[in-house]
Amino acid sequence: MNENCLFCKIISGAIPSSKVYEDECVYAFRDINPQAPVHVLVVPKAHISSAADVNAENSVYVAKCFEAIAKIAAAEGLGNGYRVVNNCGEDGGQTVMHLHFHLIGGVKLSEKII
Ligand code: 5GP
Ligand code: ZN
């Protein structure tokens, strides 16, 4: 828990969120500014600042996030596919410095850059 971190405050309940999933390692909630019919943020309960800070000690949280993503996608009816996005650092466009994966879907996504 990082006292100055928005997503740590959301995980602790200090800031309200629209929760869609929670387990021991992962918290997931709806993005406040959705870019698709389904737009869920999947975050580790441990404060990891960005993908650049993933290492051998904390990488289990990344695996747990992706296990959760598969469950949430199924629960949200995304059987036809979806996209998982991680923005890392300033050049990657990351605005909240707590590792998170955007799960977006519910529409045929067209704006592919890769
Ligand atoms: P990033 O730009 O760091 O990849 O993604 C941060 C995301 O967090 C953005 O999509 C933004 O809409 C979302 N966000 C920012 N503040 C809040 C908040 O207070 N509540 C929720 N649910 N989402 C937020
Ligand atoms: Zn945090």
Please give the chain's pLDDT, 114 residues, in tens.
888 999 999 999 999 999 999 999 999 999 999 999 999 999 999 999 999 999 999 999 999 999 999 999 999 999 999 999 999 999 999 999 999 999 999 999 988 777
pLDDT at 110: 87
pLDDT at 82: 98
Identify which ligand lies nearest to the alpha carbon of 5: 2
CB 70 within 8 A of CB 80: no
3-state secondary structure of 5: coil
Ligand 1 atom 24: the closest Cα is on which residue?
Answer: 32
Question: Is the C-beta atom of 31 inside 6 A of ligand 1?
Answer: yes
Question: Is the C-beta atom of 76 inside 6 A of ligand 1?
Answer: no
pLDDT at 72: 98
Tokens representing residue 50 in the block: 């960005």
Instruction: Indicate which atom in ligand 1 lies nearest the CA of residue 18.
Output: 22
Q: How far apart are CA 45 and CA 26, in angstroms?
A: 5
